[in-house]
Amino acid sequence: MGMNHAYSPRWRKVTIVILRPLLNGLLKREWRGRENVPGEGGVIIAANHISVADPLALAHFVYASGRYPVYLAKSTLFEVKLIRNVLRGTGQIPVHRGHADAAMALEHAEEALRAGECLMFYPEGSCTRDPELWPMTGQTGAARMALKTGAKVVPVAGWGAHELVPYKKGEQRGLAGSLKKGFHPFPRKTMRVIAGAPVDLSRYEGRPLSKEVLREATDDIMRAIAGLLGELRGKEPPTELYDHHRVLEERRRGSSAAEEAS
């Protein structure tokens, strides 16, 4: 069952007319590498995620690079009437939580890529839990889409959105722990965004999309994003990226061992 990727140019224009002046007023910008975003054809933008505010900052950067950003949005957002009209009208893609539905969402994403859309992916799947706000290990959806469709993956790093709206569900230590909860528009924050050259995934071409291949390709993508973030921050990214699932697993093991010992 194919669903042709559809959107309304009028709705897209409305969002640009409303959001551009708003974002220009709210945020200062420091942008690099816009020439790395291809002007046409299906492309995947793979970015780090540090704040609920970074999708807007990232969308602004991509739009200014000559593309209209298409996100994979939680299906529950499509149930809210006003938001649904905007999301549908601008051609955003609903993602359902269930396993079978997730495969369907990727099918829709694949159709959008083949239709020449610019798809926005946060491979981490949620805001980073790394205490110093480096990217975590990624989920394999973006790599799978790229290897299936041949679409380029452009790595993008953003920095600054965490000062506007910090993500407070993560680790409360390090840099993450030092940020104050809430919305902090003053003084005006600078959104720094950098796009790198497309990630070279040529060594995976023609290979079956096994777990190992998807994992390695995903690691290449996340490593490229972390390197760009290092450039923005003037710091060396960690050699091993934070693995949230492993941390939770170790904690669980630690607490059950402590219970047994007590």
Q: So what's the pLDDT on residue 87?
A: 83
**pLDDT tens readout for residues 3-20:** 457 788 887 787 777 777
**pLDDT tens readout for residues 17-73:** 777 777 777 779 999 999 999 999 999 999 999 999 898 889 999 999 999 999 987
Among all chains, which residue has been given the structure tokens 């409303």? 18
Locate 252 and state its tokens: 């669980």
Residues 136 and 124: beta-carbon distance below 8 Å:
yes
Q: How confident is the model at residue 209 (pLDDT cuts 50, 70, 90)?
A: very high
- Between strands 118-121 and 152-159, the pairing is unpaired
Residues 179 and 50: beta-carbon distance below 8 Å:
no
Sort 208 into a burial class: Cβ within 10 Å, 0-12 / 13-18 / 19+.
exposed
| Residue 197 to residue 37: CA distance in whole angstroms | 8
Q: So what's the pLDDT on residue 100?
A: 62
Res 134 pLDDT > 90:
yes
SS3 27: strand
Q: So what's the pLDDT on residue 1?
A: 35
pTM: 0.89
Q: How confident is the model at residue 262 (pLDDT cuts 50, 70, 90)?
A: low
Q: How confident is the model at residue 168 (pLDDT cuts 50, 70, 90)?
A: confident
Kindly state the average pLDDT of the residues 208-218. Answer: 96
Kindly state the average pLDDT of the residues 113-132. Answer: 94
Res 2 pLDDT > 50:
no
Q: Report in angstroms the alpha-carbon separations of 203 from 45, 110, 121, 154, 220.
A: 20, 21, 22, 17, 11
Q: How confident is the model at residue 108 (pLDDT cuts 50, 70, 90)?
A: confident
> How many degrees, rounded to 5, is the angle at CA 246 between CA 243 and CA 251?
125
Sort 114 into a burial class: Cβ within 10 Å, 0-12 / 13-18 / 19+.
middle
